[in-house]
Amino acid sequence: MNEKETAKTRLTDSGAAADLAALARQIAYHDVLYHQKDAPEISDAAYDALRLRYRKLLAEFPHLRPDGDPESRVGAAPVAGFGKVTHAMPMLSLANAFTDEDIEDFVDRIRRFLQLPKDDVPEFMAEPKIDGLSASLRYEKGALAIAATRGDGATGENITANVLTIADVPKKLNAPFPDIVEIRGEIYMNRDDFLALNAQREKEGEAGFANPRNAAAGSVRQLDASISAARPLRFFAYAVGEIAPLPPLGGRGDTDGDAAGLGGTTQQDLRSQLARWGFSLNEPSRLCSGGGALLDYYREIEALRHTLPFDIDGVVYKLNRSDWQERLGFVSRSPRWAIAHKFAAEQAETRLNRIIVQVGRTGALTPVAELEPVTVGGVVVSRATLHNEDEINRKDIRVGDVVRIQRAGDVIPQVIEVDLKQRDEKSQAFVFPTHCPECGSLAVREEGMAVRRCTGGLICPAQAVERLRHFVSRTAFNIEGLGEQRVRELWQDKLIRSPADIFRLQEHREALARREGWGGKSVDKLLAAIEARRKIPLDRFIYALGIRQVGEATAKLLARHYLNLENWRASMAAAYEAESPERRDLQDIDQIGPLIAQDIVDFFAEPHNLAVIDDLSRILTVEAYEKPSGGSALAGKTVVFTGTLATMSRAEAKAKAESLGAKVAGSVSARTDYVVVGDDAGSKADKARALGVRVLDEEAWRALLSSL
C-alpha cells in the first residue's frame, strides 16, 4: 500500500469512527424517547435510516464498533411505575432493508449460509409491518396470565391489566394448546379509531396524539387500566416465544416466530395455528418464492398502504422453513432469517440558521446544523448532523443557506445538498473552530484524519462529564439517579473528578442532602444505588472504562479471553511492545484487529488511566468471567476454521461454535484447541500440526458437534 492509499485509509477510519460514535448516541437518545416515553421526535423512517447508516458503516468498519453499540441492544429499559417481567426468551428486533439490492443481499446471505443449490429457491412468508407497540402474551393452561412490553429485549413492563381490556386479545385459547405458550405481536390502533379519539380529545380540551402508534403505546402504558379500556386498542399476533412442555411433533420452537414445536414445520403453519387459537393476523400476507416475488409483494403493499385500515411502515419477510430458521439462528439483536423492508422516506427544503459544534466523550468535535423547523412526512425536523469538517467543505454548507434534508438512506436527519440559487451573495464559508468550544483548549486534527479533537482531556467539561456519564450508564455500571445534570453539577463542584469518586460520595451525604432540588430521601436512594454497584462483572467494568473502540461486544470478547482483571491488565502492559506475544494474542481475538488493539494498548500506556483502574480496584469487586456451563465440550475452547467447508458455510460453523461457548480465533497459536480444516486449508493446518494442536476434518467436526 503506497503512502497516498495509507492516508486515505486513515482518513476513512477516522471519519467512520466519529460517525459511528455520533450515530450510537443519537440512536440511544431516540430509543428512550420511543420505547420509554412514547414521545418520538423523529419518524420511524427517520429512525430506521439512522440505524441503516450505522449498520452500513459498522459492516465496512467492524473494528470501529463504538461504546454503547446499538446493535447489541434492543429497545430501552422499562420505566418506573410498572412491574418488570423477564422474558423467558429475548424479544429481539428485525434488521431493516430499504432497497431492492438490500433484499437481494438478504436472500443471497441466506443461500450462502445454508449452502443451497441454485435450483433450491427459498420460500418466505411476507406480511405487512404494523406500526404499533410490540407485546408478549404468556398463556398458562390456555388462559392469559401475563402481558409485557418488549422493554430492552430482556425485561419488559407488566401491562397485563391493560391488555385484558383489548377486545381481540383472547382471554382463553381455543383448544388444543400447550401448558405454556408465549404469543408475540403488535398492539395498534386503526386509523379511523385514532382520528375519532383525537377529535374527542380536542373536544375535551386535551392535546391530540401525533399518530396512531403513539396513541396505542400511550394508551396501553397507563397505570390506570380503565384509561386503556376506554381506548380502541387492537392486537395482531405474528410469533411465538416460550412453549412448554413441547408437543410431541416438531422441534423446539425456541426462535421468535418459529413454527417448530407446534406440530408444524413452516412459518405458514405458525400463522394458521395462531388463527386457530383465536388471534387476528396481519393481512394481506403471501407465500413468496425468491427475491423477485418478495419485491413484487412489497410494491403491491406499498400501493395499497393508504387503503389499509391501519398504519404500516413496511413489510416483513420471514424464511418459511422452521428447520432453516433454526440453523440460521441470530446475530446480535436480530434473526438472520427475517428482515423488515421499510418504505422510502421523503425530502424537504428548509433554511440552515446556525452551525454548532458539539464535543464528545473522546474530545471529537462534531458539527450539527440547526434548521428552520420543517415538517417532513408528518414529523418536525429542526436539527441535522453535518458529520465532520470535510463534509461541510465538500458540500460548501453555509449558515443562511437553503438546504435539502433527507430522512432516509443516510444519517438521519441529514443535509444532502445546498440550493445555490437561493444563496445570499454575502454568505461566507463556515470556518471550523481550532479551539474547543467547551474549554478553549486547542482542537487539533492529525494529518490524514477527518476528525478534530480537543486536547483538554479531563480538564474539558464536555469530555470529563461525558466520560463519567458513560461510566454510570445503563450498559456500564447502571447507577440510577446519576443523570447528565447531576453528574455535571457534581463535577463542577469538584465532588467527583474520577470514576472512583462516585463510590466516595457517601462521605458527602450531608452536603448532598442540602443541595437545592436533592433532599435526604433522594440522596439516600442515590447512595444505595451506588453501593449496589460495588460488585460488577469484568465485561461491564471494561466497557465502563470508555476505551476508544471498545463497545459492549468487544468488552465481552476481552473478558472471555482474559477471564479476570489482573490477567487482562498484566497482558495489556506486556502488549505495549508491538512484536510481543501478548500483542499477537490480543490481535488474534476474533473481531479485534490491529487498530482496536492499538487503542487498548494506548489506554494502558497512560499513567492516569492506570491510576483510575488502581483506584477502582481498591474499592470495587470486579468479578471474573464465568466460563459457559452445561457440559459442552467446546465451552471455553479456542477454535480456528480454515479452508472451505462442504456441508456448512464458514459463518454457520462459527455461529454454532460460539453458541456452544467456544472462542473463535483468526490464527493458530499454542493456545488453540481445535483447528477445523476444509478444502484448500493452507498454512494454518500445517502450523497446527507443528504446534501439536488437534486438527479436525469436517466429518470429525460434525461428529464432535453431534456428540454434544
Alpha-carbon distance of 252 to 261, in angstroms, equals 5
The neighbour count for residue 176, using CB atoms within 10 Å, is 10
Q: Catalytic: which of 56, 118, 129, 426?
A: 129
3-class DSSP state of 674: strand
The answer to whether the CB of 24 falls within 8 A of the CB of 73 is: no
Give catalytic status of residue 118 as yes or no: no
Alpha-carbon distance of 184 to 204, in angstroms, equals 35
Write a three-state SS string for 136-162: EEEEECCEEEEEEECCCCCEEEECHHH
The answer to whether the CB of 218 falls within 8 A of the CB of 34 is: no
Angle between helices 100-114 and 650-659 (to 10 degrees): 70
- Give the cell for residue 510: 450531608
Burial class (CB in 10 A: 0-12, 13-18, 19+), 394: exposed
CA 617 centroid distance within chain: 30
3-class DSSP state of 593: coil
Alpha-carbon distance of 347 to 352, in angstroms, equals 15
Question: How many residues in total does the chain contain?
Answer: 708
- Give the cell for residue 352: 440552515
The neighbour count for residue 15, using CB atoms within 10 Å, is 20
Burial class (CB in 10 A: 0-12, 13-18, 19+), 424: exposed
Bridge-based pairing of strands 180-188 and 133-140 is: antiparallel
Which residue reads 460514535 in cell numbers?
Answer: 21
3-class DSSP state of 635: coil
> Phi and psi dihedrals of 671, rounded to 5?
-85, -5
Which are the contacts of 572, defined by CB distance < 8 A and separation ≥ 6? 582, 586, 600, 601, 603, 604
β-partners of residue 554 are: none
Alpha-carbon distance of 97 to 52, in angstroms, equals 8
Handedness of CA 520, 521, 523, 527 (dihedral sign): positive
Using CA atoms, how far residue 346 sits from 303, 375, 404, in Å, is 16, 10, 11
Catalytic residues: 129
